[in-house]
Amino acid sequence: MKQSFAVINLFISLIILISSCGRGGENTENQKPAIPGVIIPKTPLDATVKVYFENTLSMDGYINGNTEFKNVFRELLVAVENENEIDFTTQFYLINDKLTPTDFGVQTTKISEKLTPKNTAGKGNKGSSDFEEILDKILENQTGDAISVIMADFIYSPEGEKDTPSALNKLKTYTQNAFRKAGKDADDLETRIYRFTSDFNGVYYDINNKHITGIENRPYYYFVIAPSNLMPIFSNKIAPQLKNNSGYKNEALFTAKEFNSIPTQVLTSTANNGRIRSRNDDLEIIKNPKKGNLEFTVLANLTELPVDDKYLLDKKNYKLANPEFSIKDIGLVKGKNIDFSEQGAIKIDPSTLVKIKDKNFTHAILFSTEEFVSEDLEFALRKRIPSWVEEVNSNDDQRIKSDSLEQTRTFSFAHLVNGISKAYELQSGNDEYFKIIIPIK
C-alpha to C-alpha distance for 31 and 29, rounded to whole angstroms:
6
pLDDT tens digit sequence for 139-186:
988 988 999 999 999 988 766 566 666 777 888 888 898 898 888 877
Mean pLDDT taken over the chain: 86
pLDDT band at 22 (very low <50, low <70, confident <90, very high): very low
What is the reported pLDDT for 401? 94
C-alpha to C-alpha distance for 12 and 6, rounded to whole angstroms:
10
C-alpha to C-alpha distance for 119 and 106, rounded to whole angstroms:
13
C-alpha to C-alpha distance for 118 and 358, rounded to whole angstroms:
60
pLDDT for 91 beyond 60: yes
Angle between helix 131-140 and 164-185 (nearest 10): 10
pLDDT band at 24 (very low <50, low <70, confident <90, very high): very low
The domain locations on the chain are 45-255+384-428, 264-382
In 105-188 the beta strands, taken as DSSP E runs, fall at: 146-152
pLDDT tens digit sequence for 289-347:
888 888 999 999 999 888 888 899 999 999 999 888 999 999 999 999 999 999 999 99
Quickly count: other Cβ atoms within 10 Å of residue 216's Cβ: 10
pTM: predicted TM-score of the whole model, two decimal places: 0.81
What is the reported pLDDT for 162? 63
Share of the chain above pLDDT 70, in %: 88
Q: Which amino acid is at 236?
A: N
Q: Which of 25-39, 78-92, 170-184, 419-433 has the lowest mean pLDDT?
A: 25-39
pLDDT for 72 beyond 90: yes
pLDDT for 2 beyond 50: no
pLDDT for 403 beyond 90: yes
C-alpha to C-alpha distance for 186 and 142, rounded to whole angstroms:
9
C-alpha to C-alpha distance for 420 and 417, rounded to whole angstroms:
5
Quickly count: other Cβ atoms within 10 Å of residue 430's Cβ: 12
What is the reported pLDDT for 186? 78
C-alpha to C-alpha distance for 255 and 381, rounded to whole angstroms:
13
pLDDT tens digit sequence for 105-151:
999 999 999 999 999 999 988 887 777 788 888 998 898 899 999 99
pLDDT for 362 beyond 90: yes
pLDDT band at 15 (very low <50, low <70, confident <90, very high): very low
pLDDT tens digit sequence for 39-57:
444 455 789 999 999 999 9
Q: Which of 108-112, 260-264, 364-368 has the lowest mean pLDDT?
A: 260-264
C-alpha to C-alpha distance for 78 and 83, rounded to whole angstroms:
9
pLDDT for 97 beyond 80: yes
Q: Are 158 and 58 in contact (CB under 8 A)?
A: no
What is the reported pLDDT for 163? 63
pLDDT for 288 beyond 90: no
What is the reported pLDDT for 436? 93
pLDDT for 38 beyond 70: no
C-alpha to C-alpha distance for 158 and 122, rounded to whole angstroms:
19
pLDDT for 33 beyond 70: no
| Mean pLDDT in residue range 413-430 | 92
Cβ neighbours for 295, distance < 8 A, ≥ 6 positions apart: 271, 272, 273, 274, 289, 328, 366, 367, 368, 369
| Mean pLDDT in residue range 401-429 | 93
What is the reported pLDDT for 158? 64
H or E stretch including 111?
helix 111-114
pLDDT for 8 beyond 70: no
pLDDT for 218 beyond 50: yes
C-alpha to C-alpha distance for 182 and 176, rounded to whole angstroms:
10
Sign of CA dihedral 425, 394, 132, 92: negative
Cβ neighbours for 211, distance < 8 A, ≥ 6 positions apart: 203, 204, 205
Quickly count: other Cβ atoms within 10 Å of residue 211's Cβ: 9
State residue 367 phi and psi, 5-degree precision. Answer: -100, 150
